[in-house]
A and B are shown apart, each in its own frame.
Chain A
Amino acid sequence: MHLTDHSATDLLALLNSGQVKAVEVCQAYLARIERRDRAVKAFLQVNAAAALARAEQIDRRRREKQPLGPLAGLPVALKDVLCTEGELTTCGSRMLESFRPPYDATVVARLKAADAVLIGKTNMDEFAMGGSNENSAFFPTHNPWDLDRVPGGSSGGSAACVAARMAPLAVGSDTGGSIRCPAGLCGISGMKPTYGRVSRYGLVAFASSLDQIGPFGQTAEDCALLLEVLAGHDPKDSTSIDRPVPKYSQTIRQPLQGLRLGLVREHFGDGLDGDVESSVREAVRVYQSLGATVREVSLPHSNYAVATYYIIAPCEASSNLARYDGVHYGYRSGISPLPLGEGQGVRATRIWTVAANHPHPNPLPKGEETDRADNALVQMYRRSRAEGFGAEVKRRIMLGTYALSAGYYEAYYQKALKVRRLIRQDFDRAFEEVDLIVGPVTPTPAFKLGERIDDPLAMYLFDLYTVGANLTGIPGMSIPCGFSAAGLPIGLHLQAPPFEEERLLRGAYMFQQATDWHTKKPELEEEN
């Protein structure tokens, strides 16, 4: 068995028992990346030298019997939305192609303290907006199971790199399904924890009330291992919750006795792919064979979830992304290196001095001002944002700006907040009757690259099953539960009440003990 085929849990046991060295593990993954990432394109940046140096240091400390962190020697890939001190953090956007934060996100600091080996930054939809990774300003990531297909998004790079065994663990963020959707499409395990369980400090914001950081791994056990390090209260994030973090990796093996599963009536209607539905129903039968009872539950307002989400998320995004104006952060029209070749821009480094009103090298001709307020400064804002943001980001900024405008605020934003409360009530009621809600994670398996690029509405509807957990703050997880006729992975969506990550993981582990879907790996040509 190849070193990179091990689960993170097994790999950690090998490292801790001294059977393998951190450097060997690191080299094995770097070699894998070298061979496979040309096709998959999961990484925006691979920090080979730094990772190896870190692995060597961990091996030395192990030899010297110094205390080591809980992930000592395990490579971890980070979605490029997480701030890493002194290293590029692009958010998949040209806007931030040269942004090097002067600080580490809290989760990055926690991973460093846990002695994880941070191997690289992964590709994503620009500012985490998208479900296919095609919105990356640099290049799309490919699904390791079928290179013509999308890996899902927005944490597509993180999911694809774990699926392709280029990293045993990866960190992503989930605003409307951005961890669970790519985990499902790539055939791995991924979890969005409860809102407030993991600190958002240093996560470049998309929609602050929905964003949550979470783990990717081959197995539920791997997710438990990583979540244990990521989770916990952070005084730097006012929305992080101060409650103890259970030892997920220790309790995960306890099966859930008398498990009551709920199938959401509204999730088995139009638009659900036949292969997906039969895999999910088969998964439910597996649970029944393990002693679980199943009943149908209703989430009456789930039909409004996508609409609600696409009001609230863009509203928050329109404000969160206002800071990218060419003055303080990000690309400034007329100064940034243009145009970008594939991936090149990521290497460029520049930190802007804080100065406004720099004359533009190509000033707009007289008479091209949009209105009286369109002075040199406004033109600089306008052109920087026009050139720095991609189409989907612009679409959402405009949606949000519109919905928050005077005269529309009540009809859109406030109404969306009301529906959000109703959706929360639906889930609360459902969880009075069941312990976990199960269903499909996406309506179909991975679609082809470019297939939906011109149909934003179809893209948005792909989030149908996942946005509910973000709107309500509850934890959700995707685990592999089968394959389509075309050989594409299918994900099973598990959802639990707030702060019941432990229940979610134990439920997922039960399933993975009874099935072997999570052990399947894509065979890539380079290996043969």
Chain B
Amino acid sequence: MSAPYTIIIGLEVHVQLLTESKMFCSCSTKFGAPPNTQTCPVCIGMPGSLPVMNRKAFELALKTAVALNCEIPRFTKWDRKNYYYPDLPKGYQISQFDLPMSHDGWLEIETKPLSPLPVGEGSGVRAANSRVTRPHPNSLPEGEGIVSSSTTKRIGIIRAHLEEDAGKSMHDEVAGKADSRIDLNRAGTPLLEIVSQPDLRSPAEAKTYLTELKLLLNYLGVSDCNMQEGSLRVDANINLHIDTPQGRIATPIVEVKNMNSFRAVERALAFEAERQYRQWQETGHKLGEVPKSTRGWDEGSQTTREQRAKEESSDYRYFPDPDLLPVTITTEEVERVRASLGELPAALRARLEQTYGIAAYDSDVLVNQGRLLVDYYFRVAKTCGDGKTASNWMQQDVLRWLNEHQVDIGQYPVAAETLGELLAKVRGGAFDTSRGRQVLAAMLESRLSLGDAIRQVGIEEVGESAVIELCRQLLQANPKIVAEVRDGKPKGIGALIGQAKKKNPNVNPARVREICLEMIQKGEV
């Protein structure tokens, strides 16, 4: 099972920030408009135009950097990254070079070590959290009977800096015409580039990091993280550390691009690790012996392919952009941002587990659905008075319905308080879980109120005397069961409950059991 090498992965994530307007002008950032309609002299680099920083973008970036536990310097500046490309209208990109707006942070992820890592490996493992073991029923390795334990691991963030996006080139090679068309709607959109330390040790860990990062960005409300629309882009740097009789060696670092989903990232990295191992076996190339190469993930063939370099060697001739002023950030500003972050996923999971008594796996499922769903859960739990019941129903009923209908919790037809009331009735014994589900289905299908739904399902309250009378009849008709119970074999009560439900579907099975046992004990039958 254990591979003959350690995989070393670092990720560069570009996140498009959720601003109304672009980084240095007031054009809209909305996706999907006809080409070149969301442009102005500034974002198309018209001669004479000048950039003006979008405060909102900077604030969103600051929020993210603080949430990523980054250090925020008091002074940051803008630099020009000079290179020629048709979708880069100014011939340079406004970015940040030697004084980024944040650096040296970390993001905590849950991780299952595949094989024990040597201590002092430079890995991000800093603290094995004492939290409860998290069995993840869906991700158990095939054939592995044991539940592996998970720990938390801090993935270092080297830096997070702001920059403007380039435009999009569309290469159209129909019928021998070799026109390339350029859409500059995206040019100047604010991007936050988040660069991790090479702390990730497996493709699965890389995926976990991305999932946790995306969740954090969602909670912060700084990005919609839509990979299809390009608002979250991932590049990976990967190489291997291999133990040989001559000592540990590192293989050349490869940059992998063109991965359009987290699944693709995981697969591309798994492919690349194996490919690099094979390559090393064939060539023996070590880090530093060959230039860093760039490979693109090809979804069709599920392989990575060497990409042609855009420039032979890139010297971006960075220098401070004289059109923009440096930005100063005060300690008070950072603290104000920190105070405004709200509860982030890790803290929320802990609160769910501690205050609502639900299992780690369940808190994970709920928190991963986003803040809105967790808020819904809180209201259900409060109304029904039991976190566990609420959690079960959220996962088995609410989430299933949302998945089936491909909508989010905001569009769920039943209000949290109504669901809470329904669960309170189930807990109080007014009816059982399966009838409770019928009521919920009626509310969802026919948009009925709770009362109407209960009536439609045909639930009527059965008086205590009626239940007692029913139990007496059943016990009298089943002397064999009564005798068994007296002998200490209460299994037969189940059959009595079944008969009771046939005679009157509204009786509460639990109450039937209680009354029958009581009567047998007291010798009333």
User: Could you list which residues of chain A lie within 8 angstroms of chain B, going by C-beta atoms?
Assistant: 82-83, 89, 91, 96, 99, 101-103, 105, 200-205, 207-209, 235-239, 315-316, 318-319, 321-325, 327-329, 354-359, 371-373, 377-378, 381, 401, 404-406, 409, 413
Q: Are A322 and B90 CB-contacts (below 8 A) given A103-B41, A372-B312, A373-B311? A: yes
Q: Is the CB of A83 within 8 A of B323?
A: no
* B90 lies within 8 A of A405 (CB): no
Q: Does B509 contact A (CB under 8 A)?
A: no
* B residues near A316, Cβ cutoff 8 Å: 322
Residues from chain A with a CB closer than 8 A to the CB of B50 are: 200-201, 236-239
Docked-complex contact A356 and B41, CB < 8 angstroms: no
In the complex, B300 has a CB within 8 A of chain A: no
**B91–A319 CB distance below 8 A:** yes
Assess whether A409 is in contact with B319, with CB atoms less than 8 Å apart. Answer: yes
Residues 158-190 of B, flagged 1 when their CB comes within 8 A of A and 0 if not, give 000000000001000000001111101000000
Nearest chain B CB to A427's CB is how many angstroms away?
20
- The residue from B45, B52, B53, B92 contacting A236, defined by CB atoms under 8 A apart: B52
A319 touches B80 (CB 8 A): yes
Taking CB atoms, residues of chain B closer than 8 Å to A209 are 322
Q: A91–B47 Cα gap in the complex (Å)?
A: 10
Distance in Å from the Cβ of B27 to the closest Cβ of chain A?
14
B49 at the interface (CB under 8 A from A): yes
Contact yes or no, A99 B323, CB < 8 A? no
* Shortest Cβ distance from A95 into B: residue: B47
> B131 at the A/B interface (Cβ < 8 Å)?
no
CB distance from A82 to the nearest CB of B (A): 8
Bound CA span A315–B45, Å: 18
* Chain A residues whose CB sits within 8 angstroms of the CB of B82 once the complex forms: 318-319, 322, 404
Which 6 interchain pairs have the tightest Cβ spacing? A322-B91, A209-B322, A208-B322, A404-B317, A356-B86, A202-B48
1/0 per position for B77-100, CB-CB distance to A under 8 A?
A: 000101010100111100000000
Chain A residue, CB-CB nearest to B181:
A355
Contact: A327 with B86, CB < 8 Å? yes
Tell me if B46 and A102 are in contact (CB < 8 A). yes
Task: Report the minimal beta-carbon distance from B26 to chain A, rounded to whole angstroms.
Answer: 10
B86's partner among A324, A377, A401 (CB-CB below 8 A) is A377
Closest chain B residue to A357, Cβ basis: B180
Residues of A contacting B44 in the complex (Cβ-Cβ under 8 angstroms) = 328
Q: Are B317 and A401 in contact (CB under 8 A)?
A: yes
Give Cα A412 to B179, complex, Å: 41
Q: A357-B178, A381-B84 are in contact. Are A319 and B319 (CB under 8 A)?
A: yes
Q: By the criterion CB–CB under 8 Å, are B323 and A323 in contact?
A: no
Interfacial residues, chain B to chain A (CB-CB below 8 A): 36, 41, 44-53, 80, 82, 84, 86, 89-92, 169, 178-182, 184, 311-312, 315, 317, 319, 322-325
Q: Can you offer 14 A-B residue contacts whose CB atoms are under 8 A?
A: A83-B47, A83-B48, A101-B47, A204-B47, A236-B50, A239-B50, A239-B323, A319-B92, A321-B91, A323-B47, A328-B44, A381-B84, A406-B317, A409-B317
Residue of B nearest to A201 (CB): B50
Contact present for A315 and B319 (CB under 8 Å): yes
Closest to B179 in A: A355
What residues on B are CB-neighbors of A357 within 8 Å? Answer: 86, 178-180
- Note all chain A residues with C-beta closer than 8 A to B89: 323, 327-328
> Are the CB atoms of A101 and B41 closer together than 8 Å?
yes
Interface SS majority for chain A: loop
Q: Are B51's CB and A238's CB within 8 A?
A: yes
Q: Give the Cβ gap from B182 to chain A, nearest Cβ, in Å.
A: 5
Whether the pair B181, A373 counts as a contact (CB closer than 8 A) is no
A residues within 8 A CB of B36?
A: 354
Among B41, B51, B325, chain A packs the most CB atoms within 10 A around the CB of B41
Which residues from B are CB-within-8-Å of A373? 311-312
Contact status A101-B48, CB under 8 Å: yes
The residue of chain A having its C-beta at the shortest distance from the C-beta of B90 within the complex is A323
B48 touches A323 (CB 8 A): no
Residues in B neighbouring A322, C-beta threshold 8 A: 82, 84, 90-92
Selected contact of B319 from candidates A324, A327, A372, A404, CB within 8 Å: A404
Point out the residues of chain B lying under 8 angstroms from A89, CB to CB.
47-48
The interface residues of chain A lying within 8 Å CB-to-CB of B53 are 238
**B91 (CB) vs chain A CBs: closest residue:** A322
Q: Which of A105, A238, A405 contacts B323 (CB under 8 A)? A: A238
Q: Which of A236, A238, A319 interacts with B317 by CB under 8 Å?
A: A319
Q: Which residues of B contact A236 (CB under 8 A)?
A: 50, 52
Tell me the complex Cα distance, A405–B184, Å: 28
Distance of A105 Cα from B216 Cα, bound (Å)? 43
A355 x B182 contact (CB < 8 A): yes
- Return the contact of A325 from the options B91, B180, B322 (Cβ within 8 A): B91
| CB atoms of A323 and B91 under 8 A apart | yes
State whether A371 touches B322 (Cβ < 8 A): no
B315/A235 in contact, CB under 8 A: no
Interfacial chain A residues near B319, Cβ < 8 Å: 315, 319, 404, 409, 413
Whether B322 lies near A105 (C-beta < 8 A) is no
Tell me if A405 and B324 are in contact (CB < 8 A): no
Q: Which residues of A contact B92 (CB under 8 A)?
A: 319, 322
Tell me which residues across on chain B come within 8 A of A238, comparing CB atoms: 50-53, 323-325
Q: How far is the CA of A358 from the CA of B179 in the complex (A)?
A: 6
Contact between B91 and A102, CB atoms less than 8 A apart: no
CB distance from A284 to the nearest CB of B (A): 36
The answer, among A91, A103, A356, A406, for a CB contact under 8 Å with B46, is A103
| Complex contacts, A99 vs chain B, CB 8 Å | 47
* A341 CA to B263 CA, complexed, in Å: 62
Residue in A237, A318, A325, A329 whose beta carbon sits within 8 Å of that of B47 in the complex: A329
Q: Is the CB of A359 within 8 A of B178?
A: yes
Q: How far is the CA of A201 from the CA of B315 in the complex (A)?
A: 29
Contacts of A356 in B (CB 8 A): 86, 169, 180, 182
List 9 additional A-B contacts (Cβ < 8 Å) besides A102-B46, A355-B181: A105-B48, A204-B47, A205-B48, A205-B323, A322-B82, A323-B89, A355-B179, A359-B178, A404-B82
Q: Is the CB of A201 within 8 A of B317?
A: no
Which residue in chain A gives the minimum CB-CB distance to B42?
A236
Determine the residue in chain B with the shortest Cβ distance to A322. Answer: B91
A359–B177 CA distance with the chains assembled, in angstroms: 9
A318 to B80, CA, bound (A): 11
Q: How far is the CB of B186 from chain A (nearest CB, A)?
A: 14
Q: Give B3 Cβ to nearest chain A Cβ, in Å.
A: 37
B47 & A235 in contact (Cβ 8 Å cutoff): no
Take A319-B91, A322-B84, A354-B36 as given contacts and tell me if A239 and B325 are in contact as well, using a CB distance cutoff of 8 Å.
Answer: yes
Q: Separation in Å of the A199 CB from the closest CB of chain B?
A: 9
CA distance A82 to B89 in the complex (A): 20
> Which residues of B are found within 8 Å of A401, using beta-carbon distances?
317
Report the separation of the CA atoms of residues A323 and B47 in the bound assembly, to the nearest whole angstrom: 8
- Return the chain B residue nearest A328 by Cβ: B89
Q: Which of A83, A96, A105, A323 contacts B45 (CB 8 A)?
A: A323
Contact among B48, B80, B169, B311 with A204 in the assembled complex (CB-CB below 8 Å): B48
- Neighbouring A residues of B169 by C-beta, 8 Å: 356
Which residues of B have CB within 8 Å of A378? Answer: 84
Cβ of B179: which chain A residues have Cβ within 8 Å of it? 355, 357-358
Closest chain B residue, CB of each to CB of A356:
B86
A101 CB, min distance to chain B CBs, angstroms: 6
B368 to chain A, nearest CB (A): 41
* Chain B residues within 8 Å of A202, by CB: 48-49
Tell whether, in the assembled complex, residue A235 and residue B52 are in contact, meaning their CB atoms are under 8 Å apart.
yes
Q: How far is the CB of B259 from chain A (nearest CB, A)?
A: 26
Closest chain A residue to B323 by CB distance?
A208
A354–B184 CB distance below 8 A = yes
Bound together, the chains give a CA A381 to CA B86 distance in angstroms of 10
For the complex, give the distance between the alpha carbons of A89 and B41 in Å: 14
Q: Are B84 and A325 in contact (CB under 8 A)?
A: yes
B312 touches A201 (CB 8 A): no
Cβ of A448 to closest chain B Cβ, rounded Å: 33
**A105 closest partner in B (C-beta):** B48
Measured CB to CB, the nearest residue on chain B to A208 is B322
B348 CB to closest chain A CB, in angstroms? Answer: 39
Q: Which residues of the partner chain B approach A200 to less than 8 Å between Cβ atoms?
A: 50
Inter-chain contacts of A235 with B (CB < 8 A): 52
CA A401 – CA B53 in complex, angstroms?
26
